[in-house]
Each structure stands twice: as structure tokens, then as C-alpha cells.
Amino acid sequence: MLIEKLQSRFLDAITPGDTSRGEEVVIVPRERAIEVFRVLRDDPDFAFNFLTDLTAVDWLKREPRFEVVYNLNSLVLNHRLRVKVPLPSGEPWAQSVVELWSAADWLERECYDMFGIEFRGHPDLRRILMYDSFVGHPLRRDYPYNKRQPLVDEVDPVTNPLPMSR
């Protein structure tokens, strides 16, 4: 239902995903993503006002290697949609959706921290769960779970200014 509506609106930009488990899934190229998301949020037919979750999956052996996964929910119409945006391994970046849903602020920071995906247009893209001098991105499939990190120098909190929100 939702997918047909979206397809009639965007024609070639929307590829239906695996809906065999009763969930609505679409795949959108990253160039069109922000435009699609804007309609999904603002059009009263969709009214996806709630960004439930934003994460990524690393398909190490496939190309495009990364998939950013947006789980959307409409508190108005009580329906859900999953949007997936594939990203090639060479340049893993996606457009930030912070301007549409503020929840994306921390979710995109986490995704950047864990997968090294750059969110263009994010106002404050820095690590969130890991520390700044952490090497690598732990949730990538080629990061060994038992890898050791180099020791880091002690940082004097007095001489180093605090990170601040914008």
C-alpha cells in the first residue's frame, strides 16, 4: 500500500524491499534520499513524524557494502516503514536527516562512530560511545571483536577545552 503510493510519487527512485515478513521496506538511492524523506515526513498520506531508529548494516563481501537503515513510524496514522539507503564501500556517506528529525542527531553520531559512515550536513558529527582517539569503527565486519586499542595519552581536562554542543 505505502510502497505503491511512494512508487507512484517517485517512480524510478523507489525499489521495493523484502516484504515477506509483513513489513513495508523500500530501498532509495542516496542522491534522492533526502527528497523522499521530506515527503515521507510532510505529506499527510505518509506523516512519518517519528524516526524510530537509524542504524547501518555492513555487508562486507557485497557491493554496495553499507546499508543505512531508517525505521520510520507515524504516530498519526500508526504505520511503519523501513527505508534502506545503500552506500558503496569506497565512499560511505549519506545525507544527514537531522533537519527533518532531531532524533537523527545522536543516531547519526552513533552510526558514524560504529561504522565510519559520514553524514553530510550533520551539525556536530563526532564520536559518541567511543572516545575521540579510538582507532577504527568497531561494528564494521572487518574489525575483530577482540582487537586491542593503543594506549592514549592522558588529557588534562583543565588545559583542554570541553566539547560543547553547538
Partner 1 sequence: MALPARWANKTEASDPADEIMEIQMGPSHPASHGTIKFNLKLDGERIVDCDVEVGYLHRAFEKMCEQGTWTQAFPYTDRLNYASPCINNVAFALAVEKLIGVDTPERCKYVRLIMSEVSRITDHLTCLGMASQEVGATTVAFYLLEAREFLYDLVEAVTGARLTVSWCRVGGVTHDLPADFKQRITHAFQSLDGVLSDADKLLSRNRVFVDRMSGIGEFPADKAISYGISGPLLRAAGVNYDVRKANPYLVYDRVDFEVPLGERGDNYDRFNVRFREMLESKKIIEQALKQMPEGPIEISDPRIVLPPKEQVYNSIEGLMNHFKLVIEGVKVPAGEVYHAVEGANGELGFFVVSDGSGRPYRVRVRPPCFLAMGALNQILIGRMLPDIITTFGMINMIGGECDR
**Interacting residue ranges for partner 1, rule: CB under 8 A:** 18, 20-21, 23, 49-53, 55, 57-58, 69, 71, 75, 78, 80, 82, 101-103, 105-107, 110, 114, 128-131, 138-139, 143, 145, 157-159, 161-165
Q: Reduce the DSSP state of residue 12 to 3 states and report it.
A: helix
The rounded distance, in Å, linking the Cα atoms of 95 and 136 is 22
* 11 vs 151 by CB, closer to partner 1: 151
- How many CB atoms are located within 10 Å of the residue 12 CB? 8
The rounded distance, in Å, linking the Cα atoms of 127 and 138 is 12
Q: Which set of grid coordinates corresponds to residue 66?
A: 553499507
* 43 vs 53 by CB, closer to partner 1: 53
Q: How far is the CB of 120 from partner 1 (least distance, A)?
A: 20
* 3 vs 130 by CB, closer to partner 1: 130
